[in-house]
Structure 1
Amino acid sequence: MVQYNFKTITVVPNGEDFIDIILSRTQHQTPTVVHKDYAISRLRHFYMRKVKYTQTIFHEKLSTIIDEFPCLEDIHPFYGDLLHVLYNKDHYKLALGQINTARNLIEKIAKDYVKLLKDGDSLYRYKCLKVAALGCMCTVLKRIGPSLAYLEQVRQHMARLPLIDLNTRTILICGYPNVGKSSFINKITRADVDVQPYAFTTKSLFVGHTDYKYLRYQVIDTPGILDRPFEDRNITEMCSITALAHLRAAILFFLDISGSCGYTIAQQAALFHSIKSLFLNKPLIVVCNKTDLQPLDGLSEEDMKLVNEMKADALKIAIGQGGEGTNADVLFTMSALTEEGVIAVKNAACERLLNQRVGIKMKSKKINELEKAHDQKEKLPCIPPAVLEAKAKQAAAEEKRKTEKDLEGENGGAGVYSMNLRKHYILADDEWKEDILPEILDGHNVYDFIDPDILHRVKELEREEGLRQAVGLN
């Protein structure tokens, strides 16, 4: 799942600051003192290093700018079209192309002057070639100063774009300006969108989040759209059109039936019919807002006919998606001021979107293959032999061993049962465990003569006796 975060793009300095940064870094990272006793080869290496290091820093900085700015062909079409609407992709590509050209020119200049430095024969010539090389690099960079300034403006604007998850559950609010879209998103989310009693208060996309059935939903507020030709729409309107065209979302088309927004129901219905091609394959709900000022039942016959036509079109879209298409699914009334019907609209949109996403997953090829595999084969329980052996060992280990306390309780308790301590003796023959050891033998206590090392001691005594006899002591 790809996430786009344009806030991480590095700041683009202007031409003069760029040059100051590069030359200052070159001054600090390379040697600066030349002694008169240096050999000509060492002088040559000294100035060649200056030129090469400067070119390397230029290459790193310019490459960072080129790599961090997104390629419009490689990102999601929503962001590609949105960036084109906001900045004009031709100017954007031209600026990045000039940065790339400058990078290649600086690399070529460095190679040429390194060749000249190899042929130098004096300190004066080396100094002149180094100054000329750095001067040419800085001149190239100054010429792309306007492109750097343009890219910095683009970066600042991109950093202010909201973070939109293109794969999550999304609810998109659209309609004429000043019909209550921002008020609705403020009611159901924690978004703090500015609300004013004039048109085009919202000039960009705003994102909020709400919960339904323990799932997080993304709610997007779009700028107002006017019913006019495509080529006459401004940038804010095109942001809304781009979101409608590319985002997989449930659409809430807001309709101000009171007319307080400054536009009639006929104008709002005309906008609905002009952009309804963008609603295909998406859950659509028509929301009649500001019922506190004008109830739906109090509309004139002409206005009611327009509302019914929009409802019929929304029903057709719902039926085309395989939904039930009931009246309650596609037309709701609410008032953002009194909050009447606000939760009902939110719940209906979330439910429609959830049902659509579940239906798409159930129709997927993978689900069908799994169902066929399970339908045609009888799945019997199978436990591997290794698992059975492990379970048997575990059961044997868990079996409780009876202690002497347990045996005492089973055989009459204390005073009746006498513990047999000999049964745990470790002897060569188990029959020896019950043998009776004499306590007195030949008038001596037997336990005084029990020694586990008796055989070893006898051998030592025999050896000592033999030595005594050999020496003649006995």
Structure 2
Amino acid sequence: MLSKTQRKTPTVIHKQYKISRIRSFYMRKIKYTQSNFHERLSQIIQEFPKLDNIHPFYADLMNILYDKDHYKLGLGQLNQARHLIDNVAKDYLRLMKYADSLYRCKQLKKAALGRMATIMKRQGSNLEYLEQVRQHLSRLPSIDPFTRTLIICGFPNVGKSSFLNKITRADVDVQPYAFTTKSLYVGHTDYKYLRWQVIDTPGILDHSLEDRNIIEMQAVTALAHLRAAVLYFIDISEQCGHSISEQIGLFKSIRPLFNNKPLLVVATKTDIVGLDELAPEKKELLTVFDDLETPLLSMSMLTDEGVMDVKQTACETLLAFRVESKLRAKKVDNVLNRLRVAMPAKRDNKARPPCIPEAALQKIADRERGVKRKLERHIEEELGDDYVLDLKKNYDLPDDYKYDVIPEFMEGVNIADYIDPDIFKKLDELEKEESNREEAGYYAVPKIEYDQTMLEIKELAKQIRDKKSIMRQDALLVKQSTKPRLGRQALSKNREGVEARNSRSRGRSESATDAPSGTKRQRLDSEGNALSVGRGQSGSKSRARSDSRVTPRDQSGLRDPQVLMKVKKIAHKAIAKKVGKWGLKGEGDRFIGTKKPKHLFSGKRGIGKTDRR
């Protein structure tokens, strides 16, 4: 917290600062530290579960695992520390208002932060305890107290975890000694398209409630608070290390926990000793469950015998119990008032058995006999190169119609099944009616004969349409040209310059012809200046060389470099306008409007950073 305060608040005081600014500088540090401590402690206190606001099962489980008083005391001391830090900050901010020097302000800040740190150091043991609680809470299984639940209980090493592994996808450690399972484990299974929660509890020993340890008390808590079907496991082979009489004694001692819950007793390890193979005196002990009207089931984990029967019986029992309890509740009357159940009465005594197609019955019979359906792949393997794919053999049609070109199929149905039987008769009537209409002249179109004037008008209209099309294409070509255009003023100046140059060259040529024959004739360049023709150089050769000089494309038709610059500026503005302020022509555009913006490259450097203003 102290380093965060140093990082997130200003750190330098300059000599020109007033005392009010120095006070606010140090007050800001005290406030920042106090608000950080307050927020972090509030987050810890709020995010830990409050035992009074959660389900009684979780409240009792936390009481067993972490001691409710110790837990509440730890959170209460953190709450007290938060109040003390708030009061320290308030007191020192009040004193800071009267500090008259930099030294006093600094010492008050130091004292305030030191007292806050001392308060938090005293909470070290509380925070360690709460961190252990947090880590352990995150490892607890997520148990929904309101969903359909099966709870497995009994002595240690009677096969509870093995049963959970069999019917769910849980992977609980199974070992041949007692108390392998030391906490609650949860698995999920499906039955009748519903999700069921199965809880494996640690083993319980037969002694008083005060003598039970934390591991056993977790199972007792689950049995006491969760509305679920209870499966009490008894090892009739006595390999768990406890006799049948001891296991029945435990059942009787925890019997009050099973009140108002569906209960099943399951005899395990029947692959070693079956119920029929038990000694008479041990069979006599098991009759206690008949007196309590509790069903006794048997199963073996090794051979999987009876495992699914136990699961189905437990689920059915719990479903019936939940439905019955809902019917006894008051809410059901409001629901039933909105429902109307129709009870149809028989209209006659005629038997109406279900109509099952022969193909479906054949499939069921083949499945019962163990006959596997021959797939197209198997037929292809048998025939080899002689195999031909026949898509029509499974059509639901008589064999006479299966391979006809007509009828065709559309959307899985045979069109021929939906043809009207009188269609040909109706077609003859329709054709006869059409022929009568044709004879009567119903469809006759009157012929229009154009005179010479109309023909000329049509020809003229065709020529106008062709001309319009050509003009439209020409306009489109002109519009698509990307050559930069000069303004009207620049064009007029350019035109004047070209005309003047032409007239000048024309006048010189005339004067050259009028010159006396004795004077030497001089050649003129494009600007009207005289070109010297050296000895040995013929006029035709220099003329050919001057004609071969090619004007660059972007300078054609321009008078001088000033007009060229003006054209380039106009082109640049057009591009900037088209691109927009921040837009780009494409991925390769590197256009920078302003090379050195003034606000980044001018002015004095002040106190702050130099990379931005």
CA 1:413–1:141 in 2, change beyond 3 Å: closer, same or farther? farther
What letter corresponds to residue 55 of structure 2 in structure 1? H
User: Is the contact between residue 52 and residue 110 of structure 1 (CA under 8 Å) also seen in structure 2?
Assistant: yes
Q: Which of 26, 29, 43 is residue 50 of structure 1 equivalent to? A: 29
The CA deviation string for residues 34-78 of structure 1, in whole angstroms up to 9 with x for no partner, is 111111111000000000000000001101110010000000000
Q: Which of 280, 283, 305 is residue 301 of structure 1 equivalent to? A: 280
Residue 65 of structure 1: aligned partner: 44
Question: Secondary structure in 1 aligned to 2:254?
Answer: helix
1:358 aligns with 2:323: yes
Residue 184 of structure 2: aligned partner: 205
Q: When the two structures are superposed, what TM-score results if normalisation uses the length of structure 2?
A: 0.57
Question: Secondary structure in 2 aligned to 1:210?
Answer: strand
User: Is the contact between residue 102 and residue 141 of structure 1 (CA under 8 Å) also seen in structure 2?
Assistant: yes
CA 1:288–1:47 in 2, change beyond 3 Å: closer, same or farther? same
The CA deviation string for residues 292-348 of structure 1, in whole angstroms up to 9 with x for no partner, is 111112223332222120343243xxxxxxxxxxxxxx2100111221111111111
1:176 aligns with 2:155: yes
Question: Secondary structure in 2 aligned to 1:359?
Answer: helix
User: Is the contact between residue 48 and residue 114 of structure 1 (CA under 8 Å) also seen in structure 2?
Assistant: yes
Q: Which of 274, 283, 288 is residue 267 of structure 2 equivalent to? A: 288
Find the structure with the greater CA-based Rg.
2
Question: Secondary structure in 1 aligned to 2:292?
Answer: helix
1:158 aligns with 2:123: no
Q: Which of 220, 231, 245 is residue 252 of structure 1 equivalent to? A: 231
Cα distance in 1 for partners of 2:90, 2:101 equals 20
Q: Which of 305, 317, 329 is residue 340 of structure 1 equivalent to? A: 305
CA 1:374–1:196 in 2, change beyond 3 Å: closer, same or farther? closer
1:141 aligns with 2:120: yes
Residue 478 of structure 2: aligned partner: none
Cα distance in 1 for partners of 2:216, 2:323 equals 32
**How many angstroms does 1:439 deviate by?**
6.2
User: Is the contact between residue 437 and residue 443 of structure 2 (CA under 8 Å) also seen in structure 1?
Assistant: no
What letter corresponds to residue 104 of structure 2 in structure 1? R
Matches within 5 A, 1:228-239: 228-239=207-218
Question: Secondary structure in 1 aligned to 2:157?
Answer: coil
Give ranges in structure 2 of 5+ residues lacking alignment: 343-429, 459-613
Cα distance in 2 for partners of 1:421, 1:33 equals 105
**How many angstroms does 1:356 deviate by?**
1.6
Question: Secondary structure in 1 aligned to 2:104?
Answer: helix
The CA deviation string for residues 183-230 of structure 1, in whole angstroms up to 9 with x for no partner, is 111111111111111111100000111111121111110000011000
**How many angstroms does 1:83 deviate by?**
0.1
CA 1:375–1:160 in 2, change beyond 3 Å: closer, same or farther? closer
Residue 31 of structure 1: aligned partner: 10
Matches within 5 A, 1:115-134: 115-134=94-113
Q: Which of 257, 260, 263 is residue 242 of structure 2 equivalent to? A: 263
The CA deviation string for residues 4-46 of structure 1, in whole angstroms up to 9 with x for no partner, is xxxxxxxxxxxxxxxxxx1121111111111111111110000
Q: When the two structures are superposed, what TM-score results if normalisation uses the length of structure 1?
A: 0.73
**How many angstroms does 1:420 deviate by?**
7.4
Cα distance in 1 for partners of 2:201, 2:435 equals 87
Which of structures 1 and 2 has the larger relative contact order (alpha carbons within 8 angstroms, sep 6+)?
Answer: 1
Question: Secondary structure in 1 aligned to 2:232?
Answer: strand
Residue 400 of structure 2: aligned partner: none
Question: Secondary structure in 1 aligned to 2:287?
Answer: helix
The CA deviation string for residues 122-181 of structure 1, in whole angstroms up to 9 with x for no partner, is 000011001100000010011111100100111111111001122211110000001110
Residue 57 of structure 2: aligned partner: 78
Count of aligned pairs: 373
User: Is the contact between residue 38 and residue 82 of structure 2 (CA under 8 Å) also seen in structure 1?
Assistant: yes
CA 1:105–1:420 in 2, change beyond 3 Å: closer, same or farther? farther
User: Is the contact between residue 188 and residue 196 of structure 2 (CA under 8 Å) also seen in structure 1?
Assistant: yes
Question: Secondary structure in 2 aligned to 1:332?
Answer: strand
User: Is the contact between residue 290 and residue 334 of structure 1 (CA under 8 Å) also seen in structure 2?
Assistant: yes
Q: CA RMSD in A?
A: 2.9
Cα distance in 2 for partners of 1:359, 1:104 equals 53
1:331 aligns with 2:296: yes
1:226 aligns with 2:205: yes
What letter corresponds to residue 17 of structure 2 in structure 1? Y
CA 1:438–1:181 in 2, change beyond 3 Å: closer, same or farther? closer
CA 1:174–1:420 in 2, change beyond 3 Å: closer, same or farther? farther
Question: Secondary structure in 2 aligned to 1:285?
Answer: strand
**How many angstroms does 1:231 deviate by?**
0.4
Cα distance in 2 for partners of 1:56, 1:97 equals 19
User: Is the contact between residue 439 and residue 446 of structure 1 (CA under 8 Å) also seen in structure 2?
Assistant: no
